[in-house]
């Protein structure tokens, strides 16, 4: 399969000065000797029993429900939501996936009561720690609605819990209630968990080919030549631009179906790199939509940012512009016009001296999304290490959680 290619415009001339260091970082990551580097070789080592169990349990869940509620937040749901959205939703005839536990809005959660009442519902609750407040709250409320509808025993048969193999309150509850379970390996953190059951099991329920998805990641992970020549460029450029004074990376895409890929990038980059007063602030924009709000700022505003364009070369659906649109546009493919927009906007931004990284992605399939997510995970880890921080911890998120706990008298 064709791999992602990287095109750089207006990048600093010296991006390669840390080339050897970046390759050494990658080699060390592959040795998997640090805490939370289990994701690096995971696509090559995921046990076959895990893959087949995910597929067979997904089959059972599918036979029971038309809606799957995925309860989780951050790394415990964004990968699922991003992949399903990019692929255009669940496969026809497969359960629709609905999300809960990714906020604390009573208004939002109240809206899901009808989903449980009006549909055959199953739940997949994903929490590595097992104790995250948002998922705990949503899980307890949704379980209550399910008890009313199905009774406790049948509810337990409709719940799949994905959590740490040994510890946490979700693991304890799953053991006590007899839920079907999967593990998130202890040495893989939330935002690096894209190829673990936490993300792949709900994908399987939605009809996503998880073998092709992890296969894309595997191809990316094992191709050392690719990383030496092409892949490493993105991490080096991000770091060099940050050193050159750019504080913001704007991730852009020209298709709204990639919006959650943008959210996934924000979580991966933000939580991995924003430490010790360092890091790139990740933002994301959907074009051409956001050109009509942010285009002016990008072209002429304060140049504190660079752009990363995730450019999809081929999509499997398109429309031809009809005669009624006018002779200048009639007969053209809308996707081709969209690609012209990519080129036109990049030409304008190049003139404004904005550094731009364009990542060309051949198409949007399970395999290419697997490639892309693995590529971004490796990139964020290498950039973080080049910045001199630990990309795998998140010490800064404890403070706000404690303040909330204080207010709740916990």
Cβ closer to ligand PA5: 102 or 242?
Answer: 102
- The answer to whether residue 273 forms part of the interface with ligand PA5 (CB under 6 A) is no
163 class by beta-carbon count within 10 Å (0-12 exposed, 13-18 middle, 19+ buried) = buried
Q: Kindly state the smallest distance separating residue 39's Cβ from ligand PA5, in Å.
A: 11
Q: Measuring CA to CA, which residue among 44, 10, 81 is closest to residue 246?
A: 10
Cβ closer to ligand PA5: 191 or 239?
Answer: 191
CA–CA distance, 133 with 138 (Å, rounded to integer):
9
Strand 281-286 vs strand 248-253: parallel, antiparallel, or unpaired? parallel
Residues 6+ apart with CB under 8 A from 45: none
222 given a catalytic annotation: no
Cβ closer to ligand PA5: 73 or 241?
Answer: 73
Cβ closer to ligand PA5: 264 or 287?
Answer: 264
CB of 165 closer than 8 Å to CB of 136: no
Catalytic residue, chosen from 154, 343, 401, 403, is 401
Q: Kindly state the smallest distance separating residue 163's Cβ from ligand PA5, in Å.
A: 8
Q: Which of 37, 90, 102, 132 binds ligand PA5 (CB under 6 A)?
A: 132
- The answer to whether residue 37 forms part of the interface with ligand PA5 (CB under 6 A) is no
Instruction: Tell me how far CA of residue 371 lies from CA of 1, 120, 215, 218, 301, in angstroms.
Output: 10, 34, 8, 8, 34
CA–CA distance, 287 with 329 (Å, rounded to integer):
19
271 given a catalytic annotation: yes
Catalytic residue, chosen from 180, 252, 271, 307, is 271
**Subset of residues 378 to 397 that bind ligand PA5, contact rule: CB under 6 A:** 394
Catalytic residue, chosen from 292, 300, 302, 317, is 292
Site string for ligand PA5, 232-271 (x = CB under 6 A): -----------------------------------x---x
Across the strands, what pairs with 121?
A: 67
| Neighbour-count burial for 24-62, b at 16+ CB within 10 Å, e otherwise | ebbeebbeeeeebbbbbbbbeebeeebbebbeebbeebb
**Edge-to-edge, what's the strand order for the sheet holding 5-9?**
5-9, 356-361, 305-312, 248-253, 281-286
- The answer to whether residue 173 forms part of the interface with ligand PA5 (CB under 6 A) is no
Selected range binding ligand PA5 among 9-17, 70-78, 91-99, 378-386, rule: CB under 6 A: 70-78
CA–CA distance, 102 with 106 (Å, rounded to integer):
12
Cβ closer to ligand PA5: 132 or 308?
Answer: 132
Q: Measuring CA to CA, which residue among 193, 211, 81, 54 is closest to residue 128?
A: 193
Site string for ligand PA5, 76-115 (x = CB under 6 A): x---------------------------------------
- The answer to whether residue 73 forms part of the interface with ligand PA5 (CB under 6 A) is yes
CB of 369 closer than 8 Å to CB of 316: no
Q: Could you tell me the end-to-end alpha-carbon distance of the chain, in angstroms, rounded to an integer?
A: 52
CB of 322 closer than 8 Å to CB of 235: no
Selected range binding ligand PA5 among 67-75, 87-95, 232-240, 291-299, rule: CB under 6 A: 67-75
166 given a catalytic annotation: no
Size of the site for ligand PA5 (CB under 6 A): 15
CB of 128 closer than 8 Å to CB of 185: no
- The answer to whether residue 129 forms part of the interface with ligand PA5 (CB under 6 A) is yes
- The answer to whether residue 75 forms part of the interface with ligand PA5 (CB under 6 A) is yes
Cβ closer to ligand PA5: 234 or 392?
Answer: 392
Element holding 183 (H helix, E strand): strand 180-183
**Subset of residues 178 to 217 that bind ligand PA5, contact rule: CB under 6 A:** 189-191
The residue whose Cβ lies closest to ligand PA5 is 190
> Which residues belong to the active site?
271, 292, 401
Question: Which residues bind to ligand PA5, rule: CB under 6 A?
Answer: 73-76, 127-129, 132, 135, 189-191, 267, 271, 394
């Amino acid at each position: 399969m064709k791999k992602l290619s990287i095109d750089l415009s207006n990048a600093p001339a010296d991006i390669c000065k840390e080339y050897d260091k970046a390759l050494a970082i990658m080699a060390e990551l592959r040795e998997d000797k640090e805490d939370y580097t289990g994701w690096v070789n995971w696509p090559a080592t995921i046990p076959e029993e895990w893959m087949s169990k995910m597929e067979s349990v997904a089959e059972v869940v599918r036979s029971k429900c038309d809606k799957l509620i995925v309860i989780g937040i951050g790394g415990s749901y964004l990968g699922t939501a991003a992949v399903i959205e990019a692929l255009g939703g669940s496969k026809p005839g497969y359960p629709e996936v609905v999300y809960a536990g990714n906020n604390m809005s009573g208004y939002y959660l109240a809206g899901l009561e009808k989903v449980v009442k009006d549909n055959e519902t199953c739940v997949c609750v994903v929490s590595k720690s097992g104790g995250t407040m948002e998922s705990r709250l949503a899980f307890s409320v949704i379980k209550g609605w399910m008890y009313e509808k199905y009774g406790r025993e049948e509810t337990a048969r409709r719940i799949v819990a994905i959590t740490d193999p040994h510890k946490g309150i979700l693991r304890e509850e799953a053991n006590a209630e007899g839920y079907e379970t999967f593990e998130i390996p202890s040495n893989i953190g939330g935002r690096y968990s894209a190829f673990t059951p936490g993300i792949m099991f709900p994908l399987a329920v939605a009809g996503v080919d998880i073998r092709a998805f992890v296969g894309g990641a595997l191809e990316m992970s094992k191709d050392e030549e690719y990383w030496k020549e092409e892949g490493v460029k993105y991490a080096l450029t991000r770091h060099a631009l940050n050193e050159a004074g750019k504080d913001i990376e704007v991730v852009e895409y020209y298709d709204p179906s990639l919006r959650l890929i943008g959210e996934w990038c924000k979580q991966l980059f933000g939580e991995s790199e924003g430490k010790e007063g360092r890091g790139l602030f990740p933002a994301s924009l959907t074009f051409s939509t956001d050109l009509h709000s942010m285009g002016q700022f990008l072209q002429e505003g304060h140049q504190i940012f660079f752009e990363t364009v995730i450019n999809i070369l081929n999509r499997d659906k398109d429309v031809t512009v009809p005669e009624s649109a006018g002779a200048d546009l009639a007969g053209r493919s809308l996707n081709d016009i969209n690609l012209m927009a990519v080129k036109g906007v990049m030409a304008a931004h190049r003139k404004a001296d904005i550094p731009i990284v364009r990542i060309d992605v051949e198409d949007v399939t399970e395999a290419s999304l697997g490639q892309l997510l693995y590529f971004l995970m490796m990139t964020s880890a290498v950039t973080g290490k080049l910045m001199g921080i630990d990309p795998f911890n998140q010490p800064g998120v404890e403070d706000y959680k404690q303040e909330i706990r204080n207010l709740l008298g916990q």
